[in-house]
Homo-oligomer: A and B are copies of this chain.
């Protein structure tokens, strides 16, 4: 049996906490059901009561809500290894929706199995708890951005955040990564409109900070972009600091 999902989960949990051999065995033994979702499809919808968690194997997903006026606000983006609805383990009413941004493979793990694991392996429980706390730390950062930063800065911040999170799972070599988002989706995450996002991206491109074509995003001047976005990666609470400035990140030799 293919253990892709379990291995990705394991790798992620090792990134946020200490995991020993016994923990590892139990994680690898988790029963996971795989499913594929096309872009734009809801994986879990607001209002549902769920009995399983999702782990993103590959692809790109987001969480969102609509206002009564029909405006959409994207609350979070998720990349491979993320467990976007882990919170449902404790609050199984979904107060927002979770959808595939691009085609995505999702592993489903029954809450019962996760509970069981948490009871037997407190260290894993701690790691999962920590995962949800990092989720929360990212929310806080978005609040600061939405409340007090300009559209430009917010955009810069988001691009830095995604670059760093993708780099952590090996998906953003040289600050180049696949960002399968329309400008409309970016706008709904940044609290802006498509028109503004378009202009912001144009300005960032002209200033030589980023270079975007199709779903490929390239950060050309990390330091400048991070400065503009007031990006301080410590809020991501990686166990091992990740260096991103131009000078760093190259293997010695």
A38-74 contact mask (Cβ, 8 Å, vs B): 1 or 0: 0000000000000000000000000101011101110
Q: A15 an interface residue at 8 Å Cβ cutoff?
A: no
Q: A181 an interface residue at 8 Å Cβ cutoff?
A: no
**A216-253 interface with B by 8 A CB criterion:** 230, 234-235, 237
Pair B230/A67 contact, Cβ less than 8 Å: yes
List residues of chain B with CB within 8 A of the CB of A143: 73, 75, 139, 142-143, 146
Pair B148/A73 contact, Cβ less than 8 Å: yes
Inter-chain CA distance A252–B132, complex, in Å, is: 41
Question: Known contacts A143-B75, A144-B73; is A234 also within 8 Å of B95 by CB?
Answer: yes
Question: Known contacts A119-B122, A122-B119; is A87 also within 8 Å of B137 by CB?
Answer: yes
Inter-chain CA distance A51–B75, complex, in Å, is: 30
Q: A147 an interface residue at 8 Å Cβ cutoff?
A: yes
List residues of chain B with CB within 8 A of the CB of A96: 140
Q: A133 an interface residue at 8 Å Cβ cutoff?
A: yes
Task: From B68, B93, B130, B137, give the contact of A234 (CB < 8 A).
Answer: B93
**A154-190 interface with B by 8 A CB criterion:** 188-190
Of the candidates A125, A129, A134, A235, the one having the most CB atoms from chain B within 10 angstroms of its own CB is A129
Pair B148/A72 contact, Cβ less than 8 Å: yes
Name which residue of chain B comes closest to A122, CB basis: B119
Q: Is the interface of A mostly helix, strand, loop or mixed?
A: helix
| Shortest Cβ distance from residue A50 to the other chain B in the assembled complex, whole angstroms | 14
Task: From B73, B118, B137, B149, give the contact of A67 (CB < 8 A).
Answer: B149
Task: From B91, B140, B190, B234, give the contact of A134 (CB < 8 A).
Answer: B91
A186-203 contact mask (Cβ, 8 Å, vs B): 1 or 0: 001111000000000000
List residues of chain B with CB within 8 A of the CB of A130: 90-91
Q: A31 an interface residue at 8 Å Cβ cutoff?
A: no
Inter-chain CA distance A188–B143, complex, in Å, is: 11
Question: Known contacts A119-B122, A148-B72, A237-B93; is A132 also within 8 Å of B129 by CB?
Answer: yes
Question: Known contacts A72-B148, A73-B147; is A133 also within 8 Å of B91 by CB?
Answer: yes
Inter-chain CA distance A65–B65, complex, in Å, is: 25
Supplied contacts A65-B140, A146-B191, A147-B191, 12 more A-B pairs, CB within 8 Å: A69-B148, A72-B148, A87-B133, A90-B129, A90-B133, A91-B134, A91-B237, A95-B140, A143-B143, A147-B188, A147-B189, A148-B191
